[in-house]
A and B are shown apart, each in its own frame.
Chain A
Amino acid sequence: MSTIYILWLRQLKKYMRSPPRIIGSLGQPLLFLLVFGFGFSSIFAKAGGGNYIQFLVPGIVAMAVVFTAIFGGIELIWDRQFGFLKETMVAPVSRFNIMIGRALGGATVSVIQGVAVLIISFLIGFKMPHVLMIFPALIFMFLTAFFFTALGTAIASQLTDMQAFPIIMNFLVMPLFFLSGSIFPLTTAPKALQILGKLDPLSYGIDGLRYTFEGISNFNPWLDFFVLLGVSLLVVLIGNYLFEKMEV
């Protein structure tokens, strides 16, 4: 138990001690938010979609969460050969606890990034009708973050260097992000994209966020919650298996 706690705490400390990294990783979400948000707003409204900023913010919050989370998981590769991880591998603690501690820590850091983006969104005019819904929103953010951190960890446990990172980003994370209804609504997209969207776990995260932010959801918010929970558990099981087999 204390193993999980200190690994979680470690992720937080490392995050807090790197202000350039915090600010830098907010760059991309902000860019999307401002450029897409204002760029598409009139066309989106004309097409009957309503306020694009309102539509986009959950997607961009998710972007911050997902990208931070997946990178946090992938960091395992460095830790594996150069840092703390070897130290944890020879310690009398279970690998499962190590994995969970890291995943929880990475997820927490990702949620903090997401909240930072959310706060900035408020500054540019985003509105949340029911402020108390921030709490379920945080749950959706956390589940999404946890899923992607665990996914990154599971993948990283089988890699020996960072060479595969661009492949993972471009062929896994980007598609998952863009097909999730984050930037454009799935409801009005072509059938093929809708189907892919339904297969994308992130779609459920985004939908859950939209529900908590605005009260609108495509799928059922409970479905969103359970899908996220389900895929997270699945990834933890697979990740645990891979983590156990991982060679240092």
Chain B
Amino acid sequence: MSIIEVKNLTKKFGDFMAVDDISFSVEKGEIFAFLGPNGAGKTTTIKMLTTLLDPTAGEVKINNFNLKKERDNVRRSFGIVFQDPSLDDDLTAYENMEFHAILYGYKKAGRQSRIEELLKLVDLWDRRKELVKNFSGGMKRRLEIARALIHTPKIIFLDEPTVGLDPQTRNHIWSYIVDLSKKEGVTVFLTTHYMEEAEKMADRVVIIDHGKIIGVGTPQELKERTFTESLEEAFLKLTGSEIRSEEANSMDALRTHAKVWGRRK
């Protein structure tokens, strides 16, 4: 039994078919990469899998729980690190961890030691009392990974986990992820535009474009099938080299604003 089972998942926004009848499964313990060009339907799919968006049609089972009918059980089964930081900058690292623990119903008795254990794993225990607003991008990402694991989820979703980070930090983040996933036995579901990372890290890959799945398999299989030398080439062959038009949405405006003004206020 797969830890994630997706059958005929569809999402329509008015007339626009964002996700078109896709089916795939993710096995327990694997590192699974979900790839696709901009506007392919990746983010929409992840939002649906993580209960942020209701599917138009299809069936999803996560950790053997039905997505529609057993939402809270599904939510307890995964942790997620969003593309944009979802920490509270005005709180300390410890407080952010604690809030998550309380939100997920972690019993008071074991809370402190669990938080300590995870913060130590990502080398942030010494900075637990500092406000997150003073953390670097890499530190924030590490904190979010630690936080996502507090409630011992079976799956961790990583949406572009290393974007905007320098190579050393990226390398570190990956070792944390692989380490933690092995230690905690967690299945990793990630999206990324860094093909070399996907090629190095992923056990299996699904490529989505225009809302449909256009490639499934191990990085090796995809390279063989497309007669290419790297996952990146295989990806480009399957999706075409044309630059995808994107519309700036309010997210981009908010990101720019945040960059210019430092943080939200």
A83, B76: Cβ atoms closer than 8 Å: no
Residues in B neighbouring A10, C-beta threshold 8 A:
88, 91, 99
B87/A3 in contact, CB under 8 A: no
Q: Which A residue's beta carbon lies closest to that of B73?
A: A92
Checking B80, B89, B103 against A88 with a beta-carbon cut-off of 8 angstroms, the contacting residue is B103
User: Is A160 within 8 A of B103, CB to CB?
Assistant: no
- Interface members, chain A 73-87 (any B CB < 8 Å): 78, 81-87
Chain B residues lying within 8 Å of A88, measured Cβ to Cβ, are 103
User: Which B residues are CB-close (under 8 A) to A90?
Assistant: 50-52, 75, 78, 80
Beta-carbon contact of A83 and B103 below 8 Å: no
Q: How far is the CB of B112 from chain A (nearest CB, A)?
A: 16
Tell me if A195 is interfacial: C-beta within 8 Å of chain B.
no
Is B253 a contact of A83 with CB atoms below 8 Å?
no
**A83 close to B105 (CB less than 8 A):** no
Q: Contact at A83–B104, with CB atoms within 8 Å?
A: no
Q: How large is the interface on B (under 10, 10 to 19, 20 to 34, 35 or more residues)?
A: 35 or more
Give the residue of A2, A83, A161 whose beta carbon is less than 8 angstroms from that of B87. Answer: A83
Q: A6-B99, A21-B265, A92-B105 are known contacts. Are A83 and B89 too (CB-CB below 8 A)?
A: yes
B103 and A89 within 8 A (CB): no
- Quick check: is A18 within 8 A (CB to CB) of the other chain? yes
In the assembled complex, which residues on chain A have CB atoms less than 8 Å from the CB atom of B131?
Answer: 17
**Given A10-B91, A247-B52, A81–B99 Cβ distance below 8 Å?**
no
Contact A91 B75 (CB under 8 A): yes
Q: Which residue of A lies closest to B89 (CB)?
A: A83
Chain A residues within 8 Å of B76, by CB: 92
- A83 near B75 with CB under 8 A, answer no
Give the bracket for the number of chain A residues in contact with chain B: 20 to 34
Q: Determine if B103 and A3 form an interchain contact, defined as CB atoms under 8 angstroms apart.
A: yes
Are B72 and A92 within 8 A (Cβ)?
yes
Whether B95 pairs with A13 at a CB distance below 8 angstroms is yes
Q: Which of B47, B52, B78, B102 contacts A2 (CB 8 A)?
A: B102
Q: From residue A239, how far is it (CB to closest CB) to chain B in Å? A: 19
Taken together as a complex, chains A and B put the C-alpha atoms of A88 and B103 apart, in Å, by 7
Residues 119-135 of chain B: 1 if any A CB is under 8 Å from the residue's CB, otherwise 0? 00000000000010000
Q: Are A81 and B103 in contact (CB-based, < 8 A)?
A: no
Contact A6 B102, beta carbon cutoff 8 Å: yes
Q: Identify the closest chain A residue to B249 (Cβ).
A: A160
A83→B102 contact, CB < 8 A: no
Q: What's the minimum C-beta distance from A44 to chain B, rounded to whole angstroms?
A: 37
A161 touches B253 (CB 8 A): yes
Q: How many angstroms from the CA of A160 to the CA of B85 in the assembled complex?
A: 17
The CA of A79 and the CA of B15, in the complex, are separated in Å by: 30
Flag if A86 contacts B87 (CB, 8 Å): no
* 20 A–B contacts, CB within 8 A, in A order: A3-B102, A6-B99, A10-B88, A14-B88, A18-B90, A21-B265, A78-B265, A81-B251, A82-B85, A82-B258, A83-B85, A83-B86, A83-B88, A87-B100, A92-B72, A92-B73, A92-B75, A92-B105, A160-B250, A161-B250
List A residues at the B interface (Cβ < 8 Å).
2-3, 6, 10, 13-14, 17-18, 21, 78, 81-93, 160-161, 247-248
Please name the 6 residue pairs, one residue from A and one from B, whose CB atoms are nearest each other, closest first.
Answer: A92-B72, A92-B75, A91-B103, A160-B250, A78-B264, A14-B90
